[in-house]
Amino acid sequence: MDRTMQEMIDWIEDHLFEDFSLASLGRDMGYSPYYCSFKFHQMTGITIKRYKSLRKMYLASMELKETQQKTIDLAFKYGFLSQEAFTRAFKGTFGISPSAFRKKPQPLQTYLKFKINRREDGFSMDISQKWKIGALQDQIQNQFDHDILNILNGQMMYEEFYNHQLMEKSDYVPFNEAMCSNETTVTIFSDAFIQTRASGHRVSLQEYEKITVIPLKPLFENSYKCMVLWFGDDMFCQINLLTVLAYLEQARFDGKVYFHMVNEMTYEVEETEIRLEGYQDLYEQVLIHHRMPEVKVMPVMYQGIRLYLDYLKEDNEITTFIKKHIGKPQDELLQHLFHLFPHYGLGDLQYIKIIEALKKG
């Protein structure tokens, strides 16, 4: 079945810019249109229509960034009847208009073609990109000497950077949290925050402090002129990034802040300077009140927030997929979840928790 699904995905990609019908897909695949639609949704967790929409929006964003094609020509190329329809769809996906994005490109979440037989479980740094990381570090160190703290998303990224000495003489710490899971509090790293997070993760206060708080001591105790935040483009990373930015705003950090987006599909790094303004309110709107923000945010964070709010729902694309495959061996089910939902950035523990809860339910 995996081979048939990959052939179906390849066919959809080959006809991505056409207004094809399920009948033509079914005819070429040798199955009924209903069967193709049903199996695609069952195997990927989303509909063919949604997959096409996400792929086309991502490809369109790359053309806006890298070419000088007119927006109206891109609208027609990607199957929209007007520039206005394309603008509405683009803004609905990324939280920014095509013209604003072209004028000032900002980080976006990568949405690549599905590969049914590929496994994506965990962060693995492609060291061929080390020279790019080094170049970024040199630029920042030339400006701020060594008064720099690099905050890395999680222990795995921290260990990769440490083992390959990517930070050289700069200080760097891991942010060992999963802010997309469990409740939180308004004041980040307060006693109430630590108690709430420890309780949500079902660990003792001592364990939470050892895993999360103690590694961040340089952030709490030292004075820096620059913060460099290394986070991926997925939901998990973006909600963590939002929390760190909100904390820096709460702590009234007045130095420079850079977001280095690590693309865990291509392992390239994209730098964006961040102005600490409004992230405390954004954190409260999203993580406390669980609603879409009322202010403009980076497209990649906008995408992460939308995924996070969907993820909080009892019925979402992940739980729907798990329910349809609840009888599969856990390792096999995890493998499918890793390569079908990389944009969520969840790990084994998060998925196993969901699987166990659904089995009990």
Element containing residue 231 per DSSP (H, E) = strand 226-231
Q: Is residue 188 part of a domain?
A: yes
Low-confidence ranges of the chain (pLDDT < 70): 1, 116-146, 164-168, 263-267
Is the domain of 319 the same as that of 256? Answer: no
Q: Is residue 109 part of a domain?
A: no
How far apart CA 73 and CA 7 sit, in angstroms, is 30
pLDDT given for residue 123 in this prediction: 43
Q: Is residue 102 part of a domain?
A: no
List all residues 6 or more positions away from 326 whose beta carbon is below 8 Å from its beta carbon: 333, 355, 358, 359
Is the domain of 135 the same as that of 284? Answer: yes
300-321 tens-digit pLDDT: 999 999 999 999 999 999 999 9
Report the number of distinct structural domains present in the chain. 3
Which CATH number belongs to the domain containing residue 86 in this structure? 1.10.10.60
Is the domain of 281 the same as that of 343? Answer: no
Is the domain of 326 the same as that of 242? Answer: no
281-293 tens-digit pLDDT: 999 999 999 999 9
Is the domain of 59 the same as that of 162? Answer: no
Closest CA to 345 of 242, 269, 260, 239: 239
50-62 tens-digit pLDDT: 888 889 999 999 9
Is the domain of 51 the same as that of 6? Answer: yes
Is the domain of 259 the same as that of 283? Answer: yes
Q: Is residue 206 part of a domain?
A: yes
pLDDT given for residue 117 in this prediction: 55
pLDDT given for residue 109 in this prediction: 84
Is the domain of 304 the same as that of 325? Answer: no
pLDDT given for residue 263 in this prediction: 67
* Exposure of 205 in the CB half-sphere (CA atoms within 13 A): 8
- Does the reported pTM lie above 0.75? yes
Which CATH number belongs to the domain containing residue 285 in this structure? 3.40.50
Domain that includes residue 329, residue range: 313-360
